[in-house]
Homo-oligomer: A and B are copies of this chain.
Amino acid sequence: MTTERRLEETSDFRPRFDGSGLLPVIAQHESTGEVLMLAYMNAEALRLTIDTGEAHYWSRSRSTIWRKGETSGEVQEVVELRIDCDQDALLMIVRLKGNGVACHTGRRSCFYRSVHGNMLRFAEIKD
């Protein structure tokens, strides 16, 4: 069995962090299925997330771990954590606490604009 195939079919959790020690994490809304944000975890943020059941990310701009909602109150409770075939990306199903806002701009999702050629249109976010 190749290394690749072992990663795909194993029951062992072996997250593969990138050269910077990070793993991309997709946060998805538990009930609506809406994709809320893409962020990163290092090994410590992942451990804290699993141990506490609340999303912890690595801030690449501030080079620090942050507990999501620490200042805003917009805590993300982990409902389920999934890993992809080659174990280098996570999908985290979350329950939104606070006001149900995941984006720091105050919008529920960070993906509030759609691409049309070289322009963006602000997308309607349904409640």
Interface of A toward B, CB cutoff 8 Å: 8-13, 24, 26, 28, 32-35, 37-38, 50, 80-86, 89-91, 103-105, 107, 110-115, 117-123
Contact = CB atoms under 8 A, between A and B. Distances in A.
A118 to B, nearest CB: 5
Contacts of A82: 111-115, 123
A85 B114 contact: no
19 contacts: A11-B120, A11-B122, A12-B120, A13-B120, A26-B26, A26-B35, A32-B33, A33-B33, A33-B34, A35-B91, A38-B84, A50-B115, A80-B114, A82-B113, A82-B123, A83-B114, A83-B120, A86-B110, A90-B115
A91 B113 CA distance: 10
